[in-house]
Amino acid sequence: MDSLASQYSFKYEVLKADIDEKAIRHDTPRDLVLALAHAKADALLQKLAVADSSSNSSSAAAENAADSGSSSSGTFLITCDQVVVHEGQMREKPEDVEEAHRFIHSYSRSPAQTVGSVLCTNVATGSRHQTVEVCTIHMNDMPDDVIDQLIAEGDVLWCAGGLMVEHPLVVPYITQIEGSQESVMGLGKEAVMSVLVAAAGL
C-alpha cells in the first residue's frame, strides 16, 4: 500500500475491524473471503460513523484502507481477506504451533493456493466493488528445524495457512509463484487499483 500511496499521492491509515471471523462460514473459499471482506467493511463503517459524529472529521480505515486525500474524490474503505486452499481444504490462521508446523510441512507435498478478496467501499455513496485473486505457490520441502525457527518468530501464526512467502527463511524453498507475491501476501496492487478506480467512478 505504501508504494501505491506514494505513486498516486493519497493518504491512508490502518485500523482493525475486530469482527468474529469464525462466526462467518461459507462452503467455498471465494464466498468466504468475500463475506469476511464485506463484514469488515460493515464494522468499520460503523466505527467511522461514530468517529465522524463525535469529532466531525472523516478518515479511511480498514485492515488496509486508502484515502485519496482529495475532497472531490472522497474517502474509500478497502477491506480484504484471504484463505489458503490445500488439497481441497480451506485453511485460515493456524490454531496453534502444531497446526502451523503441519500446514507448512505439507506445502512441499502439493501446491497451495491463496484465495484473496479485495473490496472497496465508497464511503460517501455506499457503493461497493470487489474482486478475488487466486495464486498458486510451489515449494520444495522445508527442513523441520527451519520450520521450527520460522514458527518461533511468531508471525506465521497470523497468516492464512501459516504461509508467508516473503519471509527470508521461506524464500529459498519457493520454486514458483503463479500470480504476484503481493497478491499472495493479501493485497495485490492491480486488485486494489481496479476496485478503487471502480468505486471512484473513473
Active site positions, annotated:
81
| Phi and psi at residue 69, to the nearest 5° | 80, 10
According to DSSP, the β-strands at 112-122 and 174-178 are unpaired
Contact between 135 and 178 (Cβ < 8 Å): yes
- In the 3-class helix/strand/coil scheme, how is the chain assigned residue by residue? CHHHHHHHCCECCCCCCCCCHHHCCCCCHHHHHHHHHHHHHHHHHHHHHHHHHHHCCCCCCCCCCEECCCCCCCEEEEEEEEEEEECCEEECCCCCHHHHHHHHHHCCCCCEEEEEEEEEEECCCCCEEEEEEEEEEEECCCCHHHHHHHHHHCHHHHCHHHCCCCCCCCHHHEEEEECCHHHHCCCCHHHHHHHHHHHHCC
